[in-house]
Amino acid sequence: MNADQTAPDLALIEALAHAARDTLGEPWAGPARDVVIRVEDMAEPEMLSGLGIEDPFELTGLYDGIPMTQKSVMDMPEGPDTIWLFRRAILDEWVDRGNVTLAELVTHVLVHEFAHHFGWSDEDIAAVDQWWD
């Protein structure tokens, strides 16, 4: 172990998320690029409160938007669909698991959030994320 090594930063988590998004096949790849990926250290208290979550380490990711299965041309978008990833919660889960790479975990969280965006079934998720099986 390198004694000078630091914890993975926001930029690395974001790069891993973008790489994971780039592996999505058609017909998901194009629409997935329209979703903004935001990485923060932790979820804001207001966000946690709105979800009824007390412990910020319980939230590794969040989809914020209108799922494609519910969108209408009549909708007035309030902003872009966004997937939030929370670095410290992801790192905490990564350390607790101890048997997956950070890239695998970030991909798993991202795919789970894309499932909300696309309205995927469990079978759809399993086709994209083998971890789901």
pLDDT tens per residue, range 18-76: 999 998 888 888 999 999 999 999 999 999 999 999 999 999 999 998 787 777 666 66
Q: How far is CA 106 from CA 54, 70, 76, 102, 109, in A?
A: 22, 26, 31, 6, 5
* Six token digits for residue 84: 């939030």
Q: How far is CA 129 from CA 9, 21, 27, 46, 49, in A?
A: 24, 12, 15, 30, 29
8 A C-beta contact, residue 73 and residue 61: no
pTM of structure: 0.87
Range list of β-strands (E), 73-121: 82-86
Residue 60, pLDDT score: 97
Q: What is the mean pLDDT of the chain?
A: 88
Residue 74, pLDDT score: 67
8 A C-beta contact, residue 105 and residue 97: yes
Cα–Cα distance measured from residue 62 to residue 119, given in angstroms and rounded to the nearest whole number: 14
pLDDT tens per residue, range 60-69: 999 998 787 7
Q: Using DSSP, state whether 67 is helix, strand or coil.
A: coil
8 A C-beta contact, residue 29 and residue 46: no
The domain 10-66+77-128 having CATH identifier 3.30.2010.20: the answer here is: yes
